[in-house]
């Protein structure tokens, strides 16, 4: 036994000595061997060792990270520069008018945002608030080209807009699957923050299905900690393969800069809105004419309801679709077309996805009873902002 241990210790000593000699006089032999594995979604490249006889030191392994994804998506992300000359009052030069009302000369407005080229035909997705009430819209590509853009359509309810530019050889981004995203997936945010030029930031998906933030009427945000700042609005949120999964839209911030909480509109929503705007110039949604409110445990106890999840109807429009279907204030909607709804956001999205003129079944809790109501869906009325934009 003692002899065996002696042989083992001598072998280990010789091996350590050989490793020391090789690492001292031939370090490139060790560096040429890959000792590490690539992280999911990342690429690791090992740079070849210096040629024999060369005096240059052998470079170490270089981690490429998400270089391929950034290089694939970046050319499709554009800067959107907007301006608006304020309306000039025709009586601005009348001395009596200026005496009583002062100088009514409007101040011109301008802004910088981002957009994403989604087709070789020149369609660009961006946020509605980037182009809202702007007369002159210019798109700037990463290759230095510029072009005036035409507004194809806007949808304030989701804060999306579609532009079109007439240029040749336009790159376009590939659509990813936002429904397949999971918390922890790596993402890149690409845009033009603060107008400094195109910038790529990296992070992960922090949360999914964020709603009731008071930003849009229809909310289903992807939350990310990839830095999003003013000017990133309308830019791309891409996955590790460089495919579009969201349109960067808003941030939570007390300072105006990124605090690690950014929100992007899922590409599944953006694509549906884009196709409707290109095809019809507007987005048509269902509507039943109710005033909903989330059902809280306190409300359920007050009304002696045997359920905990659902949407309390606090108001029903007189002669509206829901009223004609038999719905009353105090009813709690639990299903729309066999899809369960647990909060107001889910009810809005479920009803909005219905086709006007379609008859659907809504299951409601009324006291201790479960009722099935048949409601004929109507077309959602335009918001005041949409009506004003159309009139203009």
Question: Is 80 in contact with 163 (CB distance < 8 Å)?
Answer: yes
Structure token digits, residue 378: 């109507």
Q: 167 by DSSP, 3-state: which?
A: coil
| Integer CA distances (angstroms), 107 to 86, 87, 104, 134, 138, in order | 6, 9, 9, 13, 20
Give the span between the Cα atoms of 186 and 239, in whole angstroms: 6
Instruction: Quickly list DSSP for 277-310.
Output: HHHHSS---EE--EEEEEPPHHHHHHTT-S-SSS
Question: Is 247 in contact with 273 (CB distance < 8 Å)?
Answer: no
Give the phi and the psi of residue 112 in degrees, each rounded to 5. -130, 130
Which positions are annotated as active-site residues?
Answer: 129, 159, 233
| Integer CA distances (angstroms), 97 to 85, 86, 87, 100, 321, in order | 21, 18, 16, 5, 49
391 Cβ contact list (under 8 Å, min separation 6):
none
Cβ count near 225 (within 10 Å): 19
Cβ count near 278 (within 10 Å): 16
Give the span between the Cα atoms of 139 and 309, in whole angstroms: 46
Cα-only R_g, the chain: 29
Instruction: Quickly list DSSP for 14-30.
Output: HHHHHHHHHHHH-HHHH
Give the span between the Cα atoms of 220 and 158, in whole angstroms: 9
| DSSP state at residue 240 | T
**Separate counts of helices (H) and strands (E) for the chain:** 10, 23
| Integer CA distances (angstroms), 111 to 154, 185, 246, 358, 371, in order | 17, 32, 22, 42, 52
């Amino acid at each position: 036994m003692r002899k065996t241990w002696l042989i083992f210790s001598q072998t280990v000593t010789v091996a350590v000595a050989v490793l020391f000699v090789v690492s001292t006089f031939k370090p490139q032999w060790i560096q040429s061997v890959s000792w590490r594995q690539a992280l999911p979604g990342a690429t690791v490249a090992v740079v070849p060792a210096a040629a024999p006889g060369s005096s240059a030191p052998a470079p170490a392994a270089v981690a490429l990270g998400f270089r391929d994804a950034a290089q694939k998506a970046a050319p499709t992300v554009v800067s959107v520069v907007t301006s608006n000359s304020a309306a000039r009052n025709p009586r601005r030069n009348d001395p009596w008018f200026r005496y009583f009302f002062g100088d009514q000369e409007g101040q011109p407005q301008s802004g910088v945002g981002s957009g994403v080229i989604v087709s070789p035909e020149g369609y660009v997705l961006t946020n509605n608030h980037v182009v809202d009430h702007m007369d002159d819209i210019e798109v700037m590509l990463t290759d230095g080209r510029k072009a005036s853009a035409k507004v194809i359509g806007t949808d304030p309810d989701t804060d999306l807009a579609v532009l079109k530019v007439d240029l040749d050889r336009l790159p376009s981004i590939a659509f990813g699957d936002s429904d397949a995203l999971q918390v922890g997936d790596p993402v890149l945010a690409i845009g033009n923050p603060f107008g400094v030029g195109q910038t790529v930031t990296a992070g992960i998906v922090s949360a999914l299905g964020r709603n009731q933030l008071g930003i849009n009427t229809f909310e289903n945000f992807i939350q990310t900690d990839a830095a999003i700042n003013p000017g990133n609005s309308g830019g791309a949120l891409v996955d590790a393969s460089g495919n579009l999964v969201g349109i960067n839209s808003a941030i939570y911030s007390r300072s105006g800069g990124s605090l690690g909480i950014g929100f992007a509109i899922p590409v599944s929503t953006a694509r549906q809105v884009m196709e409707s705007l290109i095809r019809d110039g507007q987005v048509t949604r269902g509507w039943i004419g109710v005033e909903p409110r989330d059902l809280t445990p306190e409300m359920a106890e007050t009304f002696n309801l045997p359920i905990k999840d659902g949407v309390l109807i606090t108001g029903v429009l007189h002669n509206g679709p829901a009223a004609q279907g038999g719905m009353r204030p105090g009813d709690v909607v639990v299903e729309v077309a066999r899809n369960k709804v647990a909060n107001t956001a889910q009810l809005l999205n479920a009803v909005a996805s219905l086709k006007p003129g379609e008859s659907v079944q809504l299951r409601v809790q009324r006291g201790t009873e479960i009722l099935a109501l048949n409601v004929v869906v109507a077309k959602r009325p335009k918001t005041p902002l949409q009506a004003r934009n159309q009139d203009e």
